[in-house]
Chain A
Amino acid sequence: MSTVLALAGEVTTGEAATFYILAPIALIGAIGMVWARNAVHSALFLVLTMLSLGVFYILQAGPFIGMVQIIVYTGAIMMLFLFVLMLIGRDASDSLIETLRGQRTVALLLGIGFAGLLCTGLGRAVGSMTSVGLDEANAAGNTQGIARDLFTKYVFAFEVTSALLITAAVGAMLLAHVEKVKAEKVTQLEMMRARFAPGNYPAPKPGPGVFAATNSVAAPGLLPDRTVAGRSLSALVPTRELTEAEAAPKGTEK
């Protein structure tokens, strides 16, 4: 199959056509991935790019890597990614404030310059090259060839990659997993008991009251003698005492 698709050193019309169709799509996907505000859109753009790349690999006589790209990257990883995004809810409100002014413009210019430099360099370098060694690499079949390399030349790197995977798994646990201690789980019964236990006030907390000038939760509730009701103070919201001017009648109650 491989020899049919790509003969060493020659580019068939079909291959060229596929490339010219898919290459812009891959690029659009990549740019769109960075550009999109919505995380789900980003992920989908990435899927697009990866699919295109998968096709390229197959075109280049690497059917195994092409299929792996599609099955593992596009199929498994990106879909998992999407599931997670959907599950935890997507939030498009990324902060887009530049901490360094003009940073983005400069980065864009530098990026374009760098890409230009790289492309011209590569264009000149690759233009004069003849590709060699494809037939030898695929002599016993593409998948077999990869297997041979993995288990002979790069066997150590291959084994060491397991360390990487363990680290990644442990890291994910470390950074994302909160242990729930059994003792901390409170049953409904216990909550009820605690509510009516001596020392606790079971009724709702007092609101700002009839004479309140504001209905903000930050304003403490007043008891009939105009002292602050301690229970109305929240542990989370800082208390905001109104100034005289704010508390004065606004002239709307004539």
Chain B
Amino acid sequence: MTFKLPAIDYLALAPMLVLFGAACAGVLVDALVPREWRYHVQVPLSLVALLASGGFVVALANRKEHVVTAGSAVVIDGPGLFLQGSIVVLGIVALFLVAERRLEPGGAFVAQAAVVAGSEADRKQMRKPGVTEVYPMMLFALAGMMLFCSANDLLTMFVALEVFSLPLYLLCALARRRRLLSQEAAVKYFLLGAFASAFFLYGVAMIYGYAGKVDFRGINEAVLGSSNSKTLLLIGLAMLAIGLLFKVAAVPFHVWTPDVYQGAPTPITAFMAACTKVAAFGGLLRVLYVAFERSSWDFRPTLGVIAAATMIVGAVLAVTQTDIKRLLAYSSVANAGYLLTGTLSMNRDGLKYTMFYLVAYGFTVLAAFAIVMLVRDSDGEATHLARWAGLGRRSPVFASLFTFLMLAFAGIPLTSGFTAKFGVFAAAVGGNMTWLVIIGVLSSMILAFPYLRVVVLMWLSVPGDDTPTVSVPGAFTAAALFVGVAMTLVLGVAPNQALELVNDAGAFLR
């Protein structure tokens, strides 16, 4: 038997291939380069790879030719490229946070994760430089995310899901301080993630049973034409949705979020909050808009209820938090709700403004976690909110920046939070989901309270003796912080360019 390899458009795959290649090279670097050199090789390597990948994305965007390649497994279209580009850009900023070693000797990652936490050996490795496998892991995750946004069939999508999840599970376990929390977070994330993957896979099987195909175009045709029982389609779609909603942290699949956000090393938390969100919503958008658009009457009410629950539960639970990382975790849950609102508009505006929201939120959340990294005392990061009291008097500059970011989260005009919210809400009104918009507005009111509480704590309280100091950021964190805050401002004041970009991205290629 003979068969021909399918035509592969290597340029179209280049953004991902570069990252996969660099990640493999990174693994080799860890194996071959002397320990003290690894960090100095890995960081430039990762950075160059990400820049090259971004360059390819730009080149592809300029080519303006949308292709389905690698045997219809990968589709390179406008929205896909936009999402890939945002993953790369947010990934670069997250890489800055990961590469930071000035705040703490050796960086935020443990030197040897296998050493028993709290043991003598663990105390000895406290000041040793952190593991450098972090960088290839991160590149693998980023490549997986990019593939997830541009997969054209459910099987490729599943592989991509695993490719970006597995490194994240690992990265969560590598915190230098509070290692038991970190390991617990990793185990939780891994177990629940495995369940979610299983649901996803089961859903794929059901869909295959219904449509006889796993590629999105085939499913789309089958939704109209298949003679099989629709129950299969609905079960499959539900299972698929569970898998995806787990990744976007929608209620009731959100329970891992606070623990994992709190336990993971803060740079990784930032990375997850920004990039995973883009990837997960990229995948969800493609699945819903390309494959299942015609059954939107079936899933919109259900997913609408989930979106509403996500917004409300996220907002209400954020009010009760006393730890800044958990607070941001619940805020990320609520934001998933707003993103779902945009997604469920099921019109062109919905696609556009959901993508815009993803980028806007990504930059803001990266900057917020950058500041969380800076506020520290002798025990590492001081994340308990009570410790933040009076921070405004101690270091007005960083407190001002954080206040600005909080206002952005609350959706005050002239920040990206406002333009983003406006976009998704307008899309939802246009898509006849006004009731979701009303719930969104109500939950924004609730959500404003915790943000405001942080601001009140920072500015209106008198600093105590144990108010931590804000460390002087190293060049990397400073760069991440600057980019995050600047983009929050720019996307809030003059979002023209970004809106033009999402507009040009057009619709998904079917």
**Any chain A CB within 8 A of the CB of B385?**
no
B173 touching A175 by the CB < 8 A rule?
yes
Give the CA-CA distance A122 to B133 in the complex, in Å: 44
A154 touching B156 by the CB < 8 A rule?
yes
* Consensus secondary structure, chain A interface: helix
Count of B residues near A, CB < 8 Å? 50
Write out the residue numbers on chain B whose beta carbons fall within 8 Å of the beta carbon of A163: 20, 23, 140, 143-144, 163
Write out the residue numbers on chain A whose beta carbons fall within 8 Å of the beta carbon of B234: 121
Give the CA-CA distance A153 to B73 in the complex, in Å: 7
Question: A150-179: which residues lie under 8 A (CB-CB) from chain B?
Answer: 151-157, 160-161, 163-164, 166-168, 170-171, 173-179
Contact (A166, B24) CB under 8 Å given A128-B229, A174-B170: yes
Give the CA-CA distance A157 to B144 in the complex, in Å: 11
Q: Which of B1-9, B314-322, B467-475 contacts A (4 or more CB under 8 A)?
A: B1-9
**Any chain A CB within 8 A of the CB of B413?**
no
Give the CA-CA distance A48 to B322 in the complex, in Å: 48
**Any chain B CB within 8 A of the CB of A141?**
yes
Contact (A164, B163) CB under 8 Å given A153-B72, A176-B114, A178-B114: yes
Q: How far does the Cβ of A125 sit from chain B's closest Cβ, in whole Å?
A: 4
**Any chain A CB within 8 A of the CB of B115?**
yes
**Any chain B CB within 8 A of the CB of A124?**
yes
Question: B178-219: which residues lie under 8 A (CB-CB) from chain A?
Answer: 209, 212
Write out the residue numbers on chain B whose beta carbons fall within 8 Å of the beta carbon of A125: 209, 228-229, 231-232, 235
Q: Which residue of A lies closest to B70 (CB)?
A: A156
A129 touching B163 by the CB < 8 A rule?
no
Count of A residues near B, CB < 8 Å? 37
**Any chain B CB within 8 A of the CB of A118?**
yes
Q: Which residue of A lies closest to B115 (CB)?
A: A178
**Any chain A CB within 8 A of the CB of B136?**
yes
Write out the residue numbers on chain A whose beta carbons fall within 8 Å of the beta carbon of B5: 151-152, 155
Write out the residue numbers on chain A whose beta carbons fall within 8 Å of the beta carbon of B464: none
**Any chain B CB within 8 A of the CB of A216?**
no
B235 touching A118 by the CB < 8 A rule?
yes
Q: How far does the Cβ of A113 sit from chain B's closest Cβ, in whole Å?
A: 14
Write out the residue numbers on chain A whose beta carbons fall within 8 Å of the beta carbon of B114: 174-178
Closest 8 CB pairs of A and B: A125-B229, A125-B231, A156-B70, A171-B170, A156-B73, A157-B159, A157-B156, A125-B232
* Other contacts beyond A125-B235, A151-B5, A152-B6: 13, CB < 8 A: A121-B231, A153-B6, A154-B73, A155-B70, A156-B70, A160-B156, A161-B159, A163-B23, A164-B162, A166-B27, A168-B166, A174-B174, A176-B114
Residues of A near any B CB (own CB < 8 A): 118, 121-122, 124-126, 128-129, 132-133, 140-141, 144, 148, 151-157, 160-161, 163-164, 166-168, 170-171, 173-179
